[in-house]
Amino acid sequence: MTTVEQESIRLAVDETFIPRVRALLATLERLECVGKGKWAPGPNAQFRLADGSAPDNRAGKKKPKVPAKTQRRVYRPSDERIADLQRRAEGYVRAWAEKNGVTFDGALEKARALMDEAAAGPIKINTTVETAQEILDDGRFETQFESGTSGGNYDPEVRADGEFAGLGIPRDLDPALRPVYGYTEGAARQYGEIQWVLKDSVKERATITLGDSLGGFLEEAYDRPDQGTGLIGTPLLAPGLEGFHGEWRTDLMMRRGLSSVPFVEAQIQGGVTLDDVQEVRVSALGYGGWTGEHEALLNRLIDLGIDAYMETE
């Protein structure tokens, strides 16, 4: 490098350059990246200051207004139905114990431990990118009675019968107040690559079942307990055997544990809003790769002040 070139570079650096670099380094030292395991920060790198606050460029961002009709009432099946399911469930456990030469008390303890394990994880909801953008627009998750779509079976009349028998939900309840479905364990990628992780506070108005609930709920709705099946949602914070789903599920659970079900379903009453969201995990694995839609969603989540991550492996 010639003397002239060196002088040109020196003159291009004004007197504020060094102070600005030092200020930037000081800021970086105060930042703590919040990536978790394989869930790394997104391309725009979401950060938290050391005191837990958000950087200034996220200040003043507001989430969409949530409709006022969202309520927090929790329904349950009748006491008689709950007691009947619990009695049947204990009967399935007793039969399994006798068949396998173990004590009933030991089998019952194992069954209850499995239900506790099923309820241990956070509640998660999977959606597509398109649905995720709609959730951000509305500030809340729609029920399938509102959206007119379902990742599984869509039949509002049948679903209403099942929810009445399995959860005690009135058949004529406002569609916006009907349950939103998620899961605590297992995988639900078939419903979309965007995973919404809910706050623990949501658990107090949630129930769970081992596997998809609709079939078991309908067995209760149409009075077919003689088939060795039947199911109702059990409170997530105090899970009971009524969430086991009959004799066949009891046998599988006792032999293979939670791996015998594709997922542990969660039924959330009282609505789910953005205020109920702990974090969002944006994944494109198995969905054709990372796209501009994923990038736009991740950036929008960060702009709204919602913790968001991208899956990297």
pLDDT tens digits, 147-169:
766 655 667 788 899 999 899 99
Give the chain's mean pLDDT. 79
Number of H helices, E strands in the chain: 10, 11
The CA dihedral of 224, 248, 181, 236, to the nearest 10 degrees, is: 100
* pLDDT tens-digit readout, 86-112: 998 999 999 999 999 999 999 999 999
Nearest to 219 by CA among 182, 191, 248, 181: 248
Phi, psi of 99, rounded to the nearest 5 degrees: -65, -35
Whether the CB-CB separation of 253 and 211 falls below 8 Å is answered with no
Domain range annotation of the chain: 3-63+283-311, 79-276
CB 93 within 8 A of CB 240: no
Q: Is the distance from CB of 119 to CB of 241 less than 8 angstroms?
A: no
The segment with the largest mean pLDDT, out of 16-20, 44-48, 257-261, is: 257-261
Sign, CA dihedral 84-86-92-95, equals negative
Name which of 277, 263, 268, 262 is nearest 194 in CA terms.
277
Most confident of 164-173, 229-238, 280-289: 164-173
CA angle 285, 290, 292 (to 5 degrees): 150
d(CA 268, CA 74): 9
Band (313; pLDDT cuts 50, 70, 90): low
Q: Where are the beta strands (DSSP E) in 137-272?
A: 180-186, 194-198, 206-210, 234-235, 263-268
> Would you state the pLDDT for residue 149?
65
